[in-house]
Amino acid sequence: MNQTGIWYGGDYYPEQWLKSPDILKQDIDYMKQAGINTVTMGMFAWSFLEPEEGRYNFGWLKERVDELYKNGIYTIMGTPSGARPKWLSDKYPEVLRVDDTGRRQLFSGRHNHCFTSPVYREKVRKINKELAGQFASHPGILMWHISNEYGGECHCALCQKAFRLWLKKKYDSIDELNRRWCTAFWSHIYQSFDQIESPSSIGETMVHGLNLDWKRFVTEQTTDFAKWEVDALREEGAAQPAAVNLMYDYKGLNYHKLSTAVDVVSWDSYPLWYKEKEIFTARDNGLQHDFMRSLKMKPFLLMESCPSATNWQGVSKLKKPGLLKLAGLQAVAHGSDSVLYFQIRQSRGCSEKFHGAVIDHYGGDDTRVFQEVKEVGRELDLLGEIAGTSVRSKAAVIYDVENRWALEDAQGPRNKGLFYHEVCTKIYSAIRKAGINVDVISMDENLEKYDLVAAPMLYLFQKGMEQKIRQYVGSGGCFLTTYWSGIVDDGDRCFLGGVPYGLKEVLGLRSQEVDALFDGEVNHMVPAGGKGKRYECRCLCDLVQLNGAETLMVYEDDFYQGYPAFTKNSWGKGTAYYVCADAEQEFYNDIFHKLTEEAGIKPLLNGTIPDELEITSRESAGVEYIFVQNFSRNEIRLEKPLLEDLLQGTILTGDITDSGGINGYGTVVIRRKLTAEIRN
């Protein structure tokens, strides 16, 4: 890439202002003022690039790219497949999605085309090739941005057919499919692949194997479509990397698969600040950053974020002064090489007209938001050397979407809520609170590189998962899992013979029964030995039969009072922990404080870390960058050891107050030598 330092800028839609050359000119002036070096264009411009079928018009876009480049601003070029022109839908209705009840949707919105339609694929291929033909060799093009926020599904006849072929390829024989999907239940035996229909609210919803395979098919069809888009660019010689932008905690697709279609992972981060304390929002957002980073285990891009208030949340809250910078730097701290906004200039009409922007309808540069945007630009400029550096984590949390699909589709043991996302977040937060980097990984990841792996509620085991965990623990890993793990195989079929499947020896126990608690109902965990902290637990309580494990805590209430609630088992060279119930955050904070120590993982800085502080790091050959971020609005004082450790580095940005603290919403970034001692 021909851009150095951190990319700063955002989505830009000059096509909305082509009749206002003064505005286009002003945009560039403002961008320069704000330190913006990167824009994304083209994403929703199909009607302007191909106003009629086969008639192309790239002049206006070329002019924009040129003009920006002349002013030192690079372009990420988007393919326009996210929103079709009206003429395309009208002439070829097959490109419109069909919903699960068989209704063909009307032209509207965006992100609603059939991924299977040969016509749509052909039209996309053509426009992408034209686009690449125009821009592949332009020095101002940094990257290709493929479509926008892929998602959704189509149930048209073409998709049904593709799904059947996909199933046939997967199972080969219909008998095998019947066996794996357990269709003997309710007499649902299929005689041939041709009989299969996608899940539907006016049809089948309860064959879990079908539901799961349908979601997998949707991911693969979407990924195939994304690859098809990239291939079209490559055919015309486009050599720049390609990216797709992903969404917060999105369950519609398996992002581990989709991200294989591109070179770079990027995502759109819109935290709902102030709904709770900023540190909780930051943890939640941090988990997503780390998830995105872990997809390719390399720097990602923050592709979209809001310079002010979003317009699509229930309540459009302003960011309080300083939060914009704090949030932007958090992305960099977790591995992003960019801070990009949606959007540079606010559109005048339609659904996003009140979404925050660098330049609003008023249009002046004397707004609070614009001043803060400028301030972020200045800051990022100081951190340019961090671009491209990596993040090293010795701990990982498995947060797996296929597991989630199965878990949430299952009926029982608690249809009112299982709280998978929440337990993963609790564990993630506990490790982060201990001052340690975390990877957020899928089941497919190699575990051997970690000293500590947590796999909460790992309901579904991909083939061989139990073997991988045995291997990991056997060779010395520290492993923690919980209630409702190892229950079903990759076809969502229950394991026989006792669960967690294949791990009864590793964990030294067997899960016998799971009690579900009503909303508001509480049980407690107390130390097995007597004295010590007591924690609340809710939702699910596993009743285990021990087979070698040591009981660390027991239940306090109900008929299973005194039964194990938290256990430990030494196995091979490693240790395996089992949390029986949905415990509160404080429990996880306390145990991960100990577990990380046991696993020999050193915190990034020594000393006690205050509650509302986040400490993260990036590194490159021999150098480490530590980010210390204060997510409260008040100054936080650092205790002596922490402060001293921090001050051993060189401050790249941020201030230590006279009283040895960090200002409210403040960020301090230091650079220090990466010694062997630090890496341990």
CA-closest candidate to residue 79, choices 37, 121, 109: 121
Shortest spacing between CB 347 and its own copies, in angstroms = 5
149 catalytic? Reply is: yes
Shortest spacing between CB 489 and its own copies, in angstroms = 9
Query: In what order do the strands lie in the sheet containing 650-653?
Result: 613-620, 623-630, 667-673, 650-653
Shortest spacing between CB 29 and its own copies, in angstroms = 17
Closer residue to its own copies (CB): 45 or 218: 45
Tokens 């290709």, residue located: 144
Closer residue to its own copies (CB): 177 or 279: 177
Residue 314 CB partners (closer than 8 Å, separation 6+): none
CA-closest candidate to residue 441, choices 452, 205, 572, 555: 452
Closer residue to its own copies (CB): 348 or 640: 348
- C-alpha torsion angle, residues 675, 676, 678, 679 (rounded to 10): 120
- The active-site residue, picked from 153, 304, 445, 612, is 304
Residue 195 φ/ψ, nearest 5 degrees: -85, -10
Other CB atoms within 10 Å distance of the CB of residue 207: 20
Shortest spacing between CB 526 and its own copies, in angstroms = 20
Do residues 611 and 279 lie in contact, with contact meaning Cβ atoms separated by under 8 Å? yes
Closer residue to its own copies (CB): 198 or 596: 198
- The active-site residue, picked from 94, 149, 278, 372, is 149
Closer residue to its own copies (CB): 117 or 393: 117
Other CB atoms within 10 Å distance of the CB of residue 402: 22
- Written as six digits, the tokens of 330 are 């958090």
The H-or-E segment that residue 439 falls in is strand 438-441
Shortest spacing between CB 421 and its own copies, in angstroms = 19
Do residues 469 and 577 lie in contact, with contact meaning Cβ atoms separated by under 8 Å? no
The rounded distance, in Å, linking the Cα atoms of 444 and 457 is 16
Shortest spacing between CB 272 and its own copies, in angstroms = 10
Closer residue to its own copies (CB): 192 or 570: 192
Closer residue to its own copies (CB): 349 or 530: 349
Amino acid at 177: L
- Written as six digits, the tokens of 148 are 């926008």
Shortest spacing between CB 199 and its own copies, in angstroms = 9
The rounded distance, in Å, linking the Cα atoms of 166 and 161 is 9
Tokens 């590194």, residue located: 619
Do residues 487 and 499 lie in contact, with contact meaning Cβ atoms separated by under 8 Å? yes
624 catalytic? Reply is: no
- Written as six digits, the tokens of 256 are 């581990």
**Which residues participate in catalysis according to the annotation?**
149, 304
